[in-house]
């Protein structure tokens, strides 16, 4: 849901969602694995996304699957985003905090 107006954006670099997952997010997760110390925890805040055109992206499942290739899944916490502009409509405002651990 965050839009960044400056700098190069990974979503502009890749032609589709699957390419972004493989070419950007998987590479990012692998780098995180390599820099994380054994016993360390990696935290990821994510939520599923539906584009303005109605296309659904199951980010929580897909990002979990990618990070789980490198790190052991841990706890999941549900966070209520009270400052979101979505509060004025019926959309879900809950984000999820996923914890992953390096053995």
Distance CA 98, CA 58 (A): 15
Amino acid 82: pLDDT: 61
Q: What share of the chain is helix, strand, coil (3-state, %, to 5)?
A: 35, 25, 40
Question: Are the C-beta atoms of 67 and 42 separated by less than 8 Å?
Answer: yes
Amino acid 11: pLDDT: 79
Q: Would the pLDDT of 91 be above 60?
A: no
Q: Would the pLDDT of 101 be above 70?
A: yes
Q: Tell which wins on pLDDT, 2 or 29.
A: 29
Amino acid 17: pLDDT: 93
pLDDT tens sequence across 42-85 = 999 998 988 888 889 999 999 999 999 999 999 999 988 666 55
Instruction: Give me the residue spans of the domains in the chain.
Output: 10-101
The model's pTM is 0.82
Amino acid 6: pLDDT: 76
Amino acid 40: pLDDT: 98
Residue showing tokens 């966070």: 79
Question: Are the C-beta atoms of 17 and 7 separated by less than 8 Å?
Answer: no
């Amino acid at each position: 849901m965050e839009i960044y107006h400056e700098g190069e954006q990974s979503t502009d670099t890749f032609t589709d969602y699957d390419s972004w997952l493989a070419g950007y997010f998987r590479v990012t997760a692998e780098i995180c694995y390599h820099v994380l110390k054994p016993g360390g925890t990696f935290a990821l805040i994510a939520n599923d996304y539906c584009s303005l055109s109605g296309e659904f992206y199951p980010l929580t499942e897909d990002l979990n699957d990618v990070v789980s290739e490198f790190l052991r899944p841990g706890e999941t916490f549900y966070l209520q985003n009270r400052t979101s502009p979505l509060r004025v409509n019926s959309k879900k405002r809950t984000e999820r905090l996923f914890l992953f651990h390096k053995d």
